[in-house]
Amino acid sequence: MTGQTRALEYDIQKQLARIDDLNKLIDAKTFDLKAKEGQLVECEGEIIQLKNQVISFQNELNHLKALEDKYRNENIDLQKRIDHESARNIELTTSIRDLEARIRMKEDQIMVMRKELEGARYSNSALLDNNSNLQVEIDSLNNHIRVITLQNEELTRELDQFVQANEAIRMRLDRKARVQEIRARND
């Protein structure tokens, strides 16, 4: 009986430790999830900023092209200025392409993060279900322990009664002590 109780207590302690581990894992996953959500918000803000820059650069590019057409017929100094602006346009176009590539890369990262977030949510849900199943099992084991404890107490009381009855019967059947008692009286 005691060995079984110890085994059950050990199993309960083991399950409680496992629950603690699972809770820590849930906390870690929740923390990671919040950190990724923060990163996602930062990336979305950066994407909005980059898109606004792209629009600004696009508008500036259109403006520079209009200036190029307007001043094409002016003197050599104006032509040099237009050449300079054309060179600047090339740089801006390169910057726009680089920014567009970065935007595409950020959008890809966002998609990956969303998939990871969904996976983490699914994993968290499964862990919560598993945790509730373990809690039901713990409650069941605690109830079983109470039942066994009550049975153990009843058996102990019965054994005490048997021991007392056995001692009383043994005292009655102990003829050697009676014989010595009778001899002592006769002497």
Q: Is the pLDDT of residue 52 over 60?
A: yes
More confident residue, 110 or 8: 110
Residue pLDDT, tens place only, 10-43: 888 888 888 888 889 888 888 988 888 888 889 8
Q: Is the pLDDT of residue 133 over 90?
A: no
Average pLDDT along the chain: 85
Q: Is the pLDDT of residue 3 over 80?
A: no
Q: How high is the pLDDT of residue 74?
A: 66
Residues in Cβ contact with 47 at an 8 Å cutoff, skipping those fewer than 6 apart? 103, 106, 107, 110
Mean pLDDT of 90-105: 92
Query: pTM of the entire structure?
Result: 0.33
Looking at the chain, the whole-number percentage of residues with pLDDT higher than 70 is 92
Q: How high is the pLDDT of residue 158?
A: 92
Exposed (0-12), middle (13-18) or buried (19+): which is 67, by Cβ within 10 Å?
middle
Q: What is the CATH number of domain 2-186?
A: 1.10.287.1490
Concatenated DSSP letters of 113-168: HHHHHHHHHHHHHHHHHHHHHHHHHHHHHHHHHHHHHHHHHHHHHHHHHHHHHHHH
Q: Where are the domains of the chain?
A: 2-186
